[in-house]
Amino acid sequence: MRRLIGIVLPILLLLPALTTAQSALPQTPVRAVIDDYFGTKVADPYRWLENTSDPEVIAWMKAQNDYTRAVLARIPGRDDLLTRIKALDNAGNVVSALQVWGGHYFYYKTEPGSDNRKLFVRDTLSAPERLLVDPEKMTTADGKHYSIDYFQPSLDGVYVAYGISLGGSEESVLHVLQSATGKVLPDSIDRAEFASPSWLPDGKSFFYTRAQKLASGAPPTAKYQKLKVYRHTLGGDPEAEPLVFGFGANPAVSVDENDFSNLLFSPGAPGFMIGLVIHGVKREFDIYAVPFDANTGAKTAWKKIADQSDEVTGLDVHADEIYLLSHKNASRFKVLRTSLSAPDLAHAAVAVPASEVVITNITVAADALYVQDLDGGIGRLRRLPYRNGSIQPIKLPFDGAIQSLVTNPTESGAWLELTSWTKSPLWYSLDAKTDELSDTALVPPSPVDYSQIESQEVKAKSADGTMVPLSIIHKRGLVLDGSHPTWLTGYGAYGINYDPYFDPTILVFLERGGVRAFAHVRGGGEYGEDWHQAGQKLTKQHTIDDFLAGGEYLIAHKYTSAAHLAGEGTSAGGITIGGAITQRPELFGAALIRVGDSDSLRSETMASGPANIPEFGTVTEADGFKALFGMDAYQHVKPSTPYPAVLLTTGVNDPRVAPWQAAKMTARLQASTSSGKPILLRVDYDAGHGIGSTKSQRDIELADEVAFLFWQLGVTGYAPSPSAK
């Protein structure tokens, strides 16, 4: 079973060229709305932009995007950057999401020349691969693309359930195919974005989660509420299937309308079914169990194994036992073990005690429980054999990140995807008898030459004295003279780690003398749950302080200077970069706010808003308002302030951060900045949050971002001519 985590980057052109272009900048009317939060009145001048179905808003966003496209097109060197990025992105294969069922190997692969990931299968590691799902063949007549969102093979590998969505929307329709032939069955289930299909031993049915059918005029917040779990039998009618778990299914299982529910079966513990109640993005969830032969329905006698107070964030099962990953009285996590038939968590055995390393994942194989650790930023692996075995470290080929850890409860051993900032991912197979790792050859090393690139791990002192990890990547022999364009990224939410990863396309930034840096700010999980909670709700300022400390370190150690420093945050990282530029605008020459949460006070009105309340808080509570107002960058934009240049991005189909977030932040920055530097809104009309974007979409976006940064950070050759039109 997967680990569950709650369900995301001056010599600046002196601007005569901008003067001509800026005359075409769309004007944005102010129509202020005043809200009263616990006696505090808060003005919202651009609330009207939240109605993204309003023709006026649609026209405004199109005009903003047209303006942005015209400005970016005038940057000399932008097309050459795109050519280089495409060459780097098409240099090798990318293989991800490996699953092994019935002796078959299923995985995504993106090939050179291919524009989207496809689903493949091999009958053995040495067998030729077969293509199962090719989204590129589904492209609509008007050029809109489809993407594959998830897949789950049956236990014997005969069938595969998979989700397909249009335009990066993640609004999946669930389909089923035969793996031997690739034949797609008639089964089709909509509203399956969070389906999490779990196949049953008969090989012809599975549990899945489905969203409710919305009534006309339903509010956006209803979209992901009241999720229910059904049992689908191949060939059956999705509108007439039995409700087995989730909202309203069983009075003995407490499920709120904002909760997410899954029902799981694992051949590792064939006598049981496991029910999960997930409280939005909150990492801690409730766990129930019932014998497999129970008649699931309103009268099922579910046994509760754990609830939120037990602080369990991960699990897996073997025989009659369940292993639980918990941070209760153990910030860096421990592993507990108790019985499925007679659970007693209060007296559970400690299978793996807490230590200095952070346990990030557990998963069972036929031979052992495999334990994934994070040790000072380095991925480690341990193996705990069943029947009173002692835990053993597994020696890995190099220090880096375990990007994926895969097991099958009916097979011994494991499969690992290993990578680092400078080493391309390779998939290894672990032999349980010898503990030796061998290259599966599922993907060869990237041909992109990173031999002249190096990485460093340092620590920056934050405002309260906390030492914050900072990863720095650059060309070997870099002269520390403060001149280098530097791109600093931070995230800091949900307890998610920013592990090392290999991205061949970022070489386009590094080979021109750029420095890439990642601040491992509080709110993430790099040092366990305490690190997460230290950047959450009322402590969210730590996240911003940590990011600013990373920028100050890079300047103090002469990697760069404020004129050459850019900050970036993506998704929840929009809070991080938004806070950084509104609190310390003089520290940055430029910023990227990518599909970012910028208006936190209004975020819970989005479709994804209720699910995110556990992480950020709610304005219906005094402390929640205080926390959300503190992290709301939009509300902290001040008139007549010299803000850095900012490029904001959004996709019109974004299900996670509504496009109006970027629109409102753009409008307020444009109206407030006194620096004369551009504030640009980039809109992709065939994209969402970026998860389902094609390779070409990502390449074009990266070319736009790097060209914008090079221009604004003063890199020679990227300043538009003053006479350019």
* 41 DSSP assignment: E
Contact 492, 546 (CB under 8 A): yes
With H, G, I as helix, E, B as strand and everything else as coil, classify residue 305. Answer: strand
pLDDT at 295: 83
pLDDT for position 7: 29
- DSSP for 540-568? THHHHHHHHHHHHHHHHTTS--GGGEEEE
Which long-range contacts (C-beta less than 8 Å, at least 24 apart) are formed by 301-305? 301/252, 302/250, 302/252, 302/253, 302/275, 303/343, 304/343, 305/338, 305/340, 305/343, 305/345
Residue 388: pLDDT band with limits 50, 70, 90: confident
Question: What would the pLDDT profile of 659-679 be if each residue is shown by its tens digit?
Answer: 999 999 999 999 999 999 999
Q: How confident is the model at residue 3 (pLDDT cuts 50, 70, 90)?
A: very low
Distance CA 493, CA 477 (A): 34
- Contact at 8 Å (CB) between 226 and 291? no
Burial 479-507 (b: 16+ CB within 10 A, else e): eeebebbbbbbbbbbbbbbbbbebbbbbb
Q: What is the pLDDT of residue 23?
A: 44
For residue 256, give both structure tokens. Answer: 């709120």
CB-count exposure of residue 34 (10 Å: 0-12, 13-18, 19+): exposed
Nearest to 599 by CA among 547, 666, 542: 666
Mean pLDDT of the chain: 95
Beta-ladder partners of 522: 524
Distance CA 457, CA 500 (A): 11
The sign one gets for the Cα dihedral 626, 488, 450, 83 is positive
Q: How far apart are CA 132 and CA 151, in angstroms?
A: 11
Mean pLDDT, rounded, for 315-340: 98
What pLDDT does 16 receive? Answer: 29
Q: Cα–Cα distance between 421 and 260 in angstroms, integer?
A: 34
pLDDT per residue as tens digits for the range 466-498? 999 999 999 999 999 999 999 999 999 999 999
Give the pLDDT band (50/70/90) at residue 462.
very high
Residue 364 has pLDDT above 70, yes or no: yes
Cα gap 165→154, rounded to integer Å: 21
Q: Nearest to residue 336, comparing CAs of 271, 291, 400, 384?
A: 384
Phi, psi of 460 (to 5 degrees): -110, 145
Q: Tell me, what's the pLDDT at 641?
A: 98
Q: Residue 316 and residue 408: Cα distance in Å, rounded?
A: 11
Residue 706 has pLDDT above 80, yes or no: yes
Q: What is the mean pLDDT of residues 119-130?
A: 97
Query: How many other C-beta atoms are found inside a 10 Å radius of the C-beta of residue 223?
Result: 19
DSSP string, 592-645: EEES----GGGGGGSTTHHHHHHHH--TTSHHHHHHHHHH-SGGG--TTB-PPE
Residues 290-327 have pLDDT tens digits of: 999 998 888 999 999 999 999 999 999 999 999 999 99
Quote the distance between the C-alpha of residue 297 and its chain's center. 34
**Closest of 41, 32, 72 to residue 724, by C-alpha:** 72
Domains in the chain, CATH or no CATH each = 16-87+450-712 (3.40.50.1820)
When pLDDT is averaged across residues 236-265 and rounded to a whole number, the result is 96
Return the structure tokens found at 565.
């420093």
The tokens of 623 are what?
């402390």
Above 80 in pLDDT, residue 722?
no
pLDDT of res. 133: 98
Other CB atoms within 10 Å distance of the CB of residue 341? 11
Sign of the four-CA dihedral 602, 608, 609, 614: negative
Tokens 């993106």, located at residue: 110
Is residue 118 pLDDT above 70, yes or no? yes
pLDDT digits (tens, 9 = 90+) for 403-458: 999 999 999 999 999 999 999 999 999 999 999 999 999 999 999 999 999 999 99
Task: Count CB neighbours of 433 within 10 A.
Answer: 8
pLDDT score recorded for residue 11 = 21
Does position 724 have pLDDT exceeding 90, yes or no? no
pLDDT in tens, 414-429: 999 999 999 999 999 9
The region that residue 246 occupies, defined by phi over 0 for left and psi between -120 and 50 for alpha, beta otherwise, is left
Check the CA dihedral 110-115-116-122 and report its sign.
negative
SS3 (DSSP) at 351: strand
pLDDT, average across residues 237-252:
96
CA distances from 694 to 87, 114, 688, 698 (A): 15, 9, 11, 6
Q: How confident is the model at residue 387 (pLDDT cuts 50, 70, 90)?
A: confident
**CB contact at 8 A, 426 and 441:** no
Tell me how long the chain is: 725
Q: Answer whether 117's CB lies under 8 Å from 109's CB.
A: yes
Helices (H), 120-276: none
Instruction: Say how far apart CA 683 and CA 662 lie, in whole Å.
Output: 9
Measured distance CA(181)–CA(243) in Å, rounded: 31
pLDDT of residue 232: 98
Give me 423's structure tokens. Answer: 């080493």
d(CA 683, CA 595): 10
Distance CA 322, CA 314 (A): 10
Summarize pLDDT for 5-31 with one digit per residue, the tens: 232 222 222 222 333 334 479 999 999
Nearest-CA neighbor of 404 among 375, 423, 379? 379
| Measured torsion, CA atoms of residues 90, 91, 97, 102, in degrees rounded to the nearest 10 | 110
pLDDT at 100 over 90: yes
Rounded Cα gap, residues 322 and 302, in angstroms: 15
Q: What's the CA gap between 123 and 107, in Å, rounded?
A: 12
